[in-house]
Amino acid sequence: MSNKLMHKQQKVYIVDGSRTPLLKARGQVGPFTAGDLAVNAARPLLLRHDFPLDAFDEVIMGCMMPGEREANVARVVALRLGIPQTVPAWTVQRNCASGMQSIDSAWRNIKYGDANLILAGGAESMSHAPVLFNHTMVNWLGAFMKARSTGQRLKVLSRLRLAHFKPVIALLYGLSDDTVGLNMGETAENIANCFNISRQEMDALSVSSHQRLAHAQDNGLLEEIEPMYDKHGHFYDHDDGLRRDTSMETLAKLRPAFDRKYGLVTAGNSAQITDGAAWVILASEQAVEQYKLPVMASIEDTQWAGLDPAVMGMGPAHAMAPIMQRHQFAIDDIDYWEINEAFATQVLGCLKAWEDEDYCKNHLGLNQTLGRISSERLNIDGGGVSMGHPVGASGTRIVLHLAKILQRTNARRGMASLCIGGGQGGAVLIQNAA
Amino acid sequence: MSNKMTTKQADNLNHWKLRYDENNIAWCHLDMLDSRANLLSVAVIEELNSLLEHFEKQLPQAVILLSDKNSGFIFGADISEFTPLETQQQALDFLHRGHALMNRIEILACPTVSMVHGNCFGGGTELSLACNYIVASDDASTKIGLPEIKLGIHPGYGGTVRSIEHCGPLAAMNMMLTGRAVSSRAAKKIGLIDECVPLRQLKRAALAFALRAPARKPPRLLTRLASHALFRPLLASQMRKQVGRKARPQHYPAPYKLIDLWQHYAGNRTRMLEQEALSVASLTTTQAARNLVKVFFLQTKLKDQGKKTDYKPAHVHVIGGGIMGGDIASWCAIQGFSVSVQDQSPERLAKTMQRAQASFKKKFKRNRRAVRDATDRLIPDHRGDGITRADIVIEAIFEDVAVKRELYQSIEPRMKTDAILATNTSSIKLEDLSDCLQKPGRLVGLHFFNPVALMPLVEIIRGPQTDEQVVARSLAFGKNIGKLPLPVKSSPGFLVNRILMPYILEAVTMVSEGIPAEIVDKAATDFGMPMGPIELADTVGLDICKSVALILSTALGMALPDNLDTMTKANLLGKKNGEGFYKYRNGKAVKNKNVHSDNIQQVQDRLILRLLNEAVACLREGIVEDSELIDAGVIFGTGFAPFTGGPLNYIKQHNKENLQATMATLENRFGEKFKLDAGWELV
C-alpha cells in the first residue's frame, strides 16, 4: 500500500469520448450485441485520433450481459477494433455502475503510474439478455445426451414435461436483488415511502427529463453520439426512447409497474430498458504531451459507497457525500451534476436526503446537511427516464456528458453519480481542463 | 521425430531434398531453386524421376511429398516451357515425360502421400492425384484446382483420368471445365482429397496415412454410374450446353475436347490416358492456347508492376459512398484493409453499408466471422475524420472539376504529409485537378471499373506532376488489393474507356441507322466479346456513357450519335431504370430472337475496326508503356476476347493489309472515323 502512496500521483485527463445512441428495447432482440455496440461507439472515436493504436496500455470495459460469444467482451471488442493483440483488455462488473467502474479502474492505473493511455467504457445490450432453460430442463438435456441406445432415449424422452419448457428470463433476475428479495422497482417504492415522495413529484421529474432531452436533441447538445448502421440499410442517430408527447396527464394514466395495486413507480417514471455503449479515452499528462492530445476534463476523485440493498437508489447520496467532505466543497462548488435516473423517485430521494438533517447525521455521518442541489444544474440534458439506462454503459455516458457540459458552459466542476443494484453508489468528480 | 531424421543428400539434387525418418519414410521436400514458387518444370520432374528410381531399388516404408516454400505446394507446370513447343509431336513428347512420372509414382510398391498446404494447381494436383493419398491443410490459403482450361488446354499429366476416378465425372469435369480451384474442405467433400486437417495436424495426418495405408473409398455408386457408357452421351451434351453459354468451340476448343475425351474414352483407362496426351498436344499448338498463355503472362506482367516497391497503407479513406466509392471501400475492407468511407449524411452511408454487407456476404458466404471482421474494418464516417488517419485517400465523388478542386483544397491540410490522394475520375485529366494542391505530386488516378468486385483491372493514372514514388506506391496498392494495376498516362479517357468508346459509339450509331440492337450485339459476341456493346452501354448506364463520350468527343473529335442524347433526355438510362436500348425484366435484357441481317460481317468490321484503330492510336501516343500493356488493359478492363491475345496481338496475327483495306472501304462509305491511324506502322 505504501508503495502506491509514495508514488507521485499523475493527473488523469479525459481526452475524448463517444457513445452510441441509446436504443429502446421494444420486445424484440435488438440489432446489436454488447460487443457490436461497443465496436460501433469506439470506431469513430479511434478514427479521429492519429496516435497508433498500440499506444493504449489497456482496454477496460463494463458490461453485465455480453453476447453468448463474447466472453471477456472487452478483449473481443479490442481485437475487433484492430487494437493490436499485445494490448490487454478486461471486463469489469459493478452492476449498474459497470461503465463507471471501468473509468475508476483506468483512473487508478494511470494515477499510480501503471499506465498512460487507456480506452475505458461500457456497453449493454439489454435486449439481448438471454432467456435460459430452467434447471429441470438442463438436467433433462444432460440425461438425454448420456442416453446411448434408442430405448434409453425413449425412456428419457417420456420424462419430458411441459414444465421443463418454462423459461428463465435473465433480465428479470438481473434486475432484482435476491439477498433482500426485492426487484429494483420495489427498492424505489421503498425510497418513495421513506421520503414521502409523491407520484406527482416523480412524474414531474420525468416530464422534465423528456423535455430536457428533446431540447438537447433539437439544439445539437449531444454531439458525443455517433450514428450507428445496421446490416439492412438503417441508421440510428438519436436516443429513441424520447417521447415528446410526455406530459403529467399521459404519465398519470400509467399503472404502477411493481407494487401493482398501491404503488407509485410506473414505467413512465423509471429508466427505460435500452441498448447502448459509451467510451472515453483517458490519458496521463505524459501521453497528452507525447501524442498531442486534446483534453476535455481531468478526473479529480472517485468514491464507492455501500448501503442497505432495500434502498439501493440512495447510492448517489452516499457516494457523493465523502467527496464533498474530502474536498470541503459546498453545494455551489459543483457547477453541474449528473445523477443517473434509474427511477425518478430515487433521484428525488437523494436530493431530499442531503437536505435532511437526520439522514445526513445518521446515514451519511455528517454534522450538518449538505444542502439543496438545484434542478437547473442537475441532469440538464435529460437522463435515464427519457433516454434509458443500459447498465454497462450509463456510468461512462454520464461522466462523458458531464465533461461535455463543463466544456459547453465553461464551468469548472462536475459530479457524476449513480445508484447500483445490490445497495451501492458510485461517484466521479471531474474538473474542466480548459 | 526430427531428431532421428537423417538427411540423404543424393547426388545432383537441386530442387528436392530427401529425408528419412525413423520409420524409414522418405520425406521428399520440394524447394525449387531460384524460384519463389514451386513449379513442375522439366528439371523438377527429372529429379523426382531419379528419386523414384532410387526408391524402386531401395523401397522405403512410404513416400511423402511436401513443399518447403511459404508460397504453397506446387503452382503447376512451368508454362514458359510450353512456348517453344512448335509441333504436336514436340508437345506429345513433352507430355509423355509427365505421364511417365505419374505412372511411376502410381505403381510404386509403397504408399505415397501428397501433403498439401497452400496453392496446389495443375501439374501439382495431377502429381498429388497420382499418389495413393492426398492430405491437405484446411488453411484459407490452401486451394486445389486444375485450371488448365484457362490456358486453352486441359489437364495433360493424367489429371483427367485420375480426377474423375477420385470424385466422379460430375464434380471432376465441373472443376476442369471451369478451371475453378476449390478449398480443401470442398475438395474433401467431393472426394478429391483424403483428409483435410488444421495445419498443426498435417504432418501427423500424412504420417498416419503413410503408416496405415488404409483402403481408399471408391466414389459412391451414383457417382460411378454417371461414368457408365449409357449415360455419358446425355451428360456430355448437357456439359456442352453449359460450356456453350460461356465459350464457343471456334474460340475455345479446349472444353469441347475435354468433354469429347471423357465421352469417348472414359470406359478404358489406358486409352483415355493415351488420348488425353494427344488431345492436349493438339490444343497446345492452337492459336487460342498460345494467346491464352500470352494473356497469362500479361497478368503476371501487370502484377509485377506493383512489385517495384512494397506499400501497404495502414488506413484507406474513401470519399464518396456511391456505387463506385462504396464498392471500392468494401473491396478494400474485404482485402483486409482498415477503411473509412465518407459521404455527406448518415442516410447515404446507410445505403453504402447495406450494399457493402451484400458484398461481404457474397464474398464470404456463410463465414460469419469473416463477414463480421470485414464489417468491422469498414467504418462509415460522415464527418471525414478518417482523412487524418489515412495513408491513402481515394476520391470517388461525381465528375465535376470545380467540386473536386474545392474538396481537395479542404482536405489537403488535414492529410498526413506523405499521404497519397487518388481520384477515381474516369474522364477528368489530372492536370486539371492537381494545381490546386500544395503538393501536386501526391495526386494520382486510381481508376476502378464497375463492378469493382468483378473487374480485375485498375488503371493507375500518372499525371505529368505525379511523383514517381506515388505512382510506384499506387501500383503496389493496386496489387495488394488483389487487382491488376496498369500504369497509364493522364489523357482523355485514359486507356480502357478511350478504346471502348468508339466501339460503343459505332454500335449506337448503327442502331440509329436502323440495324437492330440484337444484330449489333450478336456481331460482337460472335467475335468473342463477353457482352455486346449495346447491352454493355445499357449496363453501364447511358447517362454515364454520354458523359464519358462528351469528354472524349471534345478531346478526340468523336461525333456523338443523336440517339444517345434523345434517350438520356427521355430518361431511358439502361438497365438501372428498366429501359435503354433494351427493356429489362428481372435485370435481364429482353431480346428479340427473330432478327436477321444479311451483312453481319460488316457490322462486326465496323465495331472491331474502330476499336482496333483506337488501340493503335493509343500505342502511337504512348498512353501506356508498350503494346503488351495495351492488350492487357483492354482484355482485363473490357473483357475483350482473351483468346485473341488483345487488340494489337489480333492485328499482328491477322493480315494487316486486309484489315487496312477493310478500313479504307469503310472510310469511303462512312467517312473519316474510319481513317487509318498513323500508328498502324508501329504495330
Give the CA angle between residues B110, B111, B114 to the nearest 5°.
135
Q: What is the mean pLDDT of residues A173-177?
A: 84
Which pLDDT score, from 0 to 100, does residue A1 have?
Answer: 41
Is the Cβ pair A50, B388 closer than 8 Å?
yes
Task: Flag the least confident range among A382-391, B75-84, B134-143, B617-626.
Answer: B75-84
Position B225 confidence tier, pLDDT thresholds 50, 70, 90: confident
Nearest to A233 among B350, B379, B381 (CB): B350
Nearest to A229 among B340, B350, B386 (CB): B350
ipTM: 0.91
Position B220 confidence tier, pLDDT thresholds 50, 70, 90: confident
Is the Cβ pair A44, B379 closer than 8 Å?
yes
Task: Clarify whether residues B322 and B446 are in a common domain.
Answer: yes
Which pLDDT score, from 0 to 100, does residue B12 have?
Answer: 75
| Cα first-last separation, chain B | 62
Please name which of B180, B195, B35, B82 lies closest in space to residue B128, comparing C-alpha atoms.
B195
The CATH number that applies at residue A194 is 3.40.47.10
- A51 falls within a domain: no
Closest CA of chain A from B350, distance in Å: 5
Task: Flag the least confident range among A18-32, A195-209, A290-304.
Answer: A18-32
Q: What is the mean pLDDT of residues B22-48?
A: 96
Nearest to B351 among A231, A233, A237 (CB): A233
Q: Which residues of B touch A80 (CB under 8 A)?
A: 372-373, 376
DSSP 8-state assignment for residue B199? G
At B163-201, the pLDDT tens digits run 999 999 999 999 999 999 999 999 999 999 999 999 999
Which pLDDT score, from 0 to 100, does residue B287 have?
Answer: 92
Which pLDDT score, from 0 to 100, does residue A5 have?
Answer: 54
Q: What is the mean pLDDT of residues B533-543?
A: 92
The CATH number that applies at residue B447 is 3.40.50.720
- B301 falls within a domain: no
pTM of the model: 0.92
CA–CA separation, B188 and B574 (whole Å): 44
Residue B35 predicted with pLDDT over 80: yes
- Percent of chain B's residues with pLDDT above 70: 98
Closest CA of chain A from B386, distance in Å: 6
Domain range for A331 is: 182-220+301-432
Is the Cβ pair B389, A39 closer than 8 Å?
no
pLDDT, averaged across chain B: 93
Closest CA of chain A from B362, distance in Å: 14
Task: Clarify whether residues B486 and B504 are in a common domain.
Answer: no
Please name which of B594, B606, B600, B608 lies closest in space to residue B647, comparing C-alpha atoms.
B608
- B302 falls within a domain: no
Q: What is the mean pLDDT of residues B14-37?
A: 96
- B447 falls within a domain: yes
Is the Cβ pair B388, A231 closer than 8 Å?
no
- B540 falls within a domain: yes
CA–CA separation, B380 and B321 (whole Å): 9
Task: Flag the least confident range among A108-112, A343-347, B564-568.
Answer: B564-568
Q: Which three cell numbers stand for residue A258?
A: 411493481
Task: Clarify whether residues B23 and B153 are in a common domain.
Answer: yes
Q: Which residue of A has its CA nearest to B355?
A: A233
- B255 falls within a domain: yes
Is the Cβ pair A44, B354 closer than 8 Å?
no
- Which amino acids of A are annotated catalytic? 96, 389, 419
Task: Clarify whether residues B251 and B322 are in a common domain.
Answer: no
Is the Cβ pair A231, B351 closer than 8 Å?
no
Task: Clarify whether residues B469 and B524 are in a common domain.
Answer: no
Q: Which three cell numbers stand for residue A235?
A: 441508421
Which pLDDT score, from 0 to 100, does residue B5 have?
Answer: 59
Residue A302: partners with Cβ closer than 8 Å, 6 or more residues away: A100, A103, A104, A107, A323, A426, A427, A428, A429
- A110 falls within a domain: no
Q: Which residue of A has its CA nearest to B317?
A: A47
- B257 falls within a domain: yes
Q: Which three cell numbers stand for residue B253?
A: 476448343
Nearest to B349 among A47, A49, A229 (CB): A229
8 Å CB contact between A360 and A366: yes
Q: Which residue of B has its CA nearest to A81?
A: B376
Specify the number of domains making up chain A: 1
Task: Clarify whether residues B485 and B630 are in a common domain.
Answer: no
DSSP H/E element including A302: strand A297-306
Is the Cβ pair A227, B380 closer than 8 Å?
yes
At B349-405, the pLDDT tens digits run 999 999 999 999 999 998 999 999 999 999 999 999 999 999 999 999 998 999 999
- Which amino acids of B are annotated catalytic? 426, 447, 459, 497
Please name which of A74, A47, A28, A88 lies closest in space to residue B316, comparing C-alpha atoms.
A47
Nearest to B379 among A47, A49, A232 (CB): A47
Position A7 confidence tier, pLDDT thresholds 50, 70, 90: low
Please name which of A284, A288, A255 lies closest in space to residue A269, comparing C-alpha atoms.
A255
- Total Cβ atoms within 10 A of residue B594: 6
- B290 falls within a domain: no
Residue A162 predicted with pLDDT over 90: no
Position A169 confidence tier, pLDDT thresholds 50, 70, 90: confident
- B305 falls within a domain: no
Position B1 confidence tier, pLDDT thresholds 50, 70, 90: very low
Task: Flag the least confident range among A146-155, A292-301, B187-196, B527-536.
Answer: A146-155
Task: Clarify whether residues B152 and B214 are in a common domain.
Answer: yes
Position B2 confidence tier, pLDDT thresholds 50, 70, 90: very low
- A295 falls within a domain: no
Which pLDDT score, from 0 to 100, does residue B25 have?
Answer: 97
Task: Flag the least confident range among A92-106, B456-470, B554-568, B650-664.
Answer: B554-568
Task: Clarify whether residues B455 and B509 are in a common domain.
Answer: no
Residue B333's φ and ψ, nearest 5 degrees, are -65, -40
Task: Clarify whether residues B650 and B669 are in a common domain.
Answer: yes
* Last residue within a domain, chosen from B441, B469, B490: B490
Q: Which residues of B touch A233 (CB under 8 A)?
A: 350-351, 353-354
Q: Which residue of B has its CA nearest to A238?
A: B346
Which pLDDT score, from 0 to 100, does residue A434 have?
Answer: 86
Position B3 confidence tier, pLDDT thresholds 50, 70, 90: very low
* Last residue within a domain, chosen from B456, B471, B490: B490
Task: Clarify whether residues B444 and B547 are in a common domain.
Answer: no
Q: Which residues of A touch B375 (CB under 8 A)?
A: 231
8 Å CB contact between A51 and A22: no
Q: What is the mean pLDDT of residues B50-58?
A: 96
| Burial of B434 (C-beta count, 10 Å sphere; 0-12/13-18/19+) | buried
Q: What is the mean pLDDT of residues B619-632?
A: 96
Domain range for B600 is: 497-682
Q: Which residues of B touch A231 (CB under 8 A)?
A: 353-354, 357, 375
At B440-471, the pLDDT tens digits run 999 999 999 989 999 999 999 999 999 999 99
Residue A224 predicted with pLDDT over 90: yes
Is the Cβ pair B353, A43 closer than 8 Å?
no
Specify the number of domains making up chain B: 3
Nearest to B354 among A50, A80, A232 (CB): A232
What is the residue-wise DSSP string for A362-431?
Answer: HTT--SS---PPPGGGBSTT--HHHH---TTTHHHHHHHHHHHHHHHHT--EEEEEEEETTTEEEEEEEE
DSSP H/E element including B143: strand B143-145
Q: What is the mean pLDDT of residues B298-308?
A: 94
Which pLDDT score, from 0 to 100, does residue B11 have?
Answer: 62
pLDDT, averaged across chain A: 94
Q: Which residues of A touch B346 (CB under 8 A)?
A: 227, 229, 235, 237
Q: Which three cell numbers stand for residue B400?
A: 465535376
Which pLDDT score, from 0 to 100, does residue A6 have?
Answer: 55
Task: Clarify whether residues B530 and B615 are in a common domain.
Answer: yes
Is the Cβ pair B376, A82 closer than 8 Å?
yes
CA–CA separation, B182 and B172 (whole Å): 11
Which pLDDT score, from 0 to 100, does residue B549 have?
Answer: 86
Which pLDDT score, from 0 to 100, does residue A401 have?
Answer: 98
Closest CA of chain B from A235, distance in Å: 6
Please name which of B613, B420, B598, B635 lies closest in space to residue B516, comparing C-alpha atoms.
B598
At A98-116, the pLDDT tens digits run 999 999 999 999 999 999 9
Closest CA of chain B from A49, distance in Å: 7
Question: Which residues does A contribute to its contact with B (CB < 8 Å)?
Answer: 39, 43-44, 47-50, 80-82, 227, 229-235, 237
- A75 falls within a domain: no
The CATH number that applies at residue B501 is 1.10.1040.50
At B401-446, the pLDDT tens digits run 999 999 999 999 999 999 999 999 987 889 999 999 999 999 999 9
Task: Clarify whether residues B517 and B423 are in a common domain.
Answer: no
